[in-house]
Structure 1
């Protein structure tokens, strides 16, 4: 028997079973029909996974690999962002400390003024120091 025909017949049977579950809901009540319908849908999911694996054997491997890649990428990106953020914060703190130290140091003009002031104080004004 041709595999394509078998798949067609199986899909047709699943469709008929879903129709039967709708009919059961209408005739017997909601509980029986919903239970039957959920069973049909669960078995259909198993059938689709089997069909995908049969026609494309690497399908599940690709799906898992894609999911793993996406998860790893998100986790690595998040971890890198946290690490970089922490390191940037540390560098900013160190720069602020350095800026505070630099701000506490006297400016060149202040140093020059103080040197002139000390030089004037140590130098005699009237030359009497030289005569001694």
Structure 2
């Protein structure tokens, strides 16, 4: 069973016992009902103390920290990936453009020089 279901069933059982104590006060005698009610109340208080003792207050902090870490990691990865793609595209574009310009310039100069030398 799930712990949440067990806790809710136990709380419901204590509610039924408190109702039984009230019925005993009305039907039997007040002393018996009050004694039973005090017993139920003390048992319920013990149950609540036990439940709170096993509660882990750091649980929520760990869960939130893990959630923030996961989301931040995803966002940073996406941002870095996008930035790197843009940077690489720009660098490749500049490099290719520069290389093409240099190659064309050298080829044209060589062709012009060869043509000029051939005419002379």
The answer to which structure has the higher helix fraction is: 2
Q: TM-score range by the shorter chain?
A: 0.3 to 0.5
- Which has the higher Rg, Structure 1 or Structure 2? 1
Q: TM-score, normalised by structure 2?
A: 0.48
State the TM-score, normalizing by the size of structure 1: 0.45
